[in-house]
């Protein structure tokens, strides 16, 4: 799989819904409600899905492009649109088109990003007037990873991933590989052997080599294909699993180097190459739209 760069000027207006990587993921404790206290760096990528929105005068919300295996009422795009409509009592509705490129359930945040793009763009198109903090709070009801996509910055994260501080990391190009196995996030977090006491680090202490992903060993034990992929990739570049898996990323200083290794990948592993960006393409596009002189 090779994901095309998202155009900002095609018709209909496409809105980016980028992927993320967890450059590291430490589990530092557990809340009373069972959720885990995490530390992570969310790296925004320049590649992802894209969505288009057509506003309607009635209140119906429709997804024109259903996802195989995901009933419409469970699709995070529909859930996000309904949540915003209910919260703001907006009388308008919409028809949404989702161009799905990212593998689902791979730890690269596709569903959460789709929800965030829906909240951010409908807030603009419906004229709801919510700020990012309000949208992030709404988004958190849909998933722990939604707020980072609302703010759209590469960020150091704490809490369940909602306490975010922008961070500057070294420019890099990533080869993201999908081993093709499905890993359940709740299953990983309910594993008795999951390390849950990793000492906290400060934002300024973050160094890739001195951090790790606490979920990686558990996932490798349960899914040998992930372990095999990691063993293959580390031969070429520093590599790590993202989130609760199953995707794995290898880090390169430039696109050519990433593409050379991509060309050597065994055919059973799909992959894409993406650049790390400080600000998500969604936020850049939104900024341009708000800055346009003819906006109504």
Ligand X SMILES: Nc1ncnc2c1ncn2[C@@H]1O[C@H](COP(=O)(O)OP(=O)(O)O)[C@@H](O)[C@H]1O
CA distance 40 to 22: 6
Q: Which partner, ligand SUD, ligand X, none, binds residue 144 by CB below 5 to 8 Å per kind?
A: ligand SUD
Residue 93 or residue 245: which is nearer to ligand X going by CB?
Answer: 245
Other C-beta atoms closer than 10 Å to the C-beta of 27 total 20
Query: Would residue 264 show up in a list of annotated catalytic residues for this protein?
Result: no
Which region among 110-118, 204-212, 222-230, 287-295 touches ligand X (by CB under 6 A)? 110-118
Query: Would residue 200 show up in a list of annotated catalytic residues for this protein?
Result: no
Site string for ligand X, 223-252 (x = CB under 6 A): --------------------x---------
CB-nearest residue to ligand X = 111
Residue 176 or residue 233: which is nearer to ligand X going by CB?
Answer: 176
CA distance 73 to 63: 10
| CA 165, 252, 143, 94 torsion-angle sign | positive
Catalytic residue among 46, 49, 145, 214: 145
Scan residues 152-211 and list those touching ligand X (CB under 6 A). 185
3-state secondary structure at position 177 = strand
Please, what is the minimum distance in Å from the beta carbon of residue 114 to ligand X? 4
3-state secondary structure at position 25 = strand
Tell me if 109 contacts ligand X by CB under 6 A.
Answer: yes
3-state secondary structure at position 172 = coil
Residues that bind ligand SUD (CB under 6 A): 22, 35-36, 38, 107, 109, 112, 143-145, 160-161, 185-186, 189, 243-244
Please, what is the minimum distance in Å from the beta carbon of residue 142 to ligand X? 9
Tell me if 74 contacts ligand X by CB under 6 A.
Answer: yes
Which residues does 254 contact at the CB level (< 8 Å), separation at least 6? 173
Residue 182 or residue 200: which is nearer to ligand X going by CB?
Answer: 182
Tell me if 147 contacts ligand X by CB under 6 A.
Answer: no
| Residue in 45, 15, 116, 47 with CA at minimum distance from that of residue 277 | 45
Residue 46 or residue 49: which is nearer to ligand X going by CB?
Answer: 49
CA distance 283 to 275: 16
CA distance 55 to 231: 48
Please give the C-alpha separations between residue 278 and each of 42, 63, 236, 258, 263, in angstroms, as whole numbers: 10, 30, 25, 19, 27
The CA-based dihedral angle spanning residues 162, 125, 8, 272, taken in that order and rounded to the nearest 10 degrees: 40
Whether residue 107 is annotated as binding a ligand: the answer is yes
Residue 59 or residue 184: which is nearer to ligand X going by CB?
Answer: 184
Which residues does 85 contact at the CB level (< 8 Å), separation at least 6? 59, 61, 92, 93, 122, 126
Residues serving a catalytic function are: 20, 145
Residues of the binding site for ATP: 103-113
Residues that bind ligand X (CB under 6 A): 67, 70, 74-77, 104-112, 114, 185, 243
């Amino acid at each position: 799989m090779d994901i095309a760069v998202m155009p900002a000027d095609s018709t209909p207006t496409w809105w980016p819904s980028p992927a993320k990587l967890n450059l590291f993921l430490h589990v530092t404790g557990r809340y009373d409600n069972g959720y885990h206290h995490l530390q992570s760096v969310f790296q925004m990528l320049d590649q992802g899905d894209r969505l288009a929105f057509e506003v309607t005068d009635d209140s119906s919300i429709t997804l024109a492009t259903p996802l195989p295996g995901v009933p419409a009422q469970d699709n995070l795009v529909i859930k996000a649109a309904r949540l915003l409509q209910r919260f703001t009592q907006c009388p308008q509705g919409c028809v949404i088109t989702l161009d799905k490129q990212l593998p689902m359930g791979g730890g690269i945040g596709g569903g959460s990003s789709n929800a965030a793009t829906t909240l951010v763009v409908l807030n603009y198109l419906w004229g709801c007037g919510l700020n990012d903090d309000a949208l992030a709070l709404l988004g958190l009801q849909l998933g722990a990873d939604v707020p980072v996509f609302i703010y759209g910055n590469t960020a150091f994260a704490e809490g369940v991933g909602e306490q975010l501080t922008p961070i500057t990391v070294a420019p890099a190009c990533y080869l993201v590989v999908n081993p093709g196995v499905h890993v359940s996030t709740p299953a990983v977090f309910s594993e008795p052997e999951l390390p849950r006491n990793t000492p906290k680090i400060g934002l300024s202490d973050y160094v890739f080599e001195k951090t790790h992903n606490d979920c990686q060993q558990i996932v490798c034990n349960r899914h040998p294909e992930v372990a095999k992929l990691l063993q293959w990739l580390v031969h070429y570049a520093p590599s790590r699993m993202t989130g609760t898996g199953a995707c794995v990323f290898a880090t390169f200083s430039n696109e050519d180097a990433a593409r050379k290794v991509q060309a050597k990948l065994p055919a059973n592993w799909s992959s894409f190459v993406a650049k790390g960006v400080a600000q998500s393409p969604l936020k850049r596009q939104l900024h341009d739209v708000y800055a346009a002189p003819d906006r109504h």
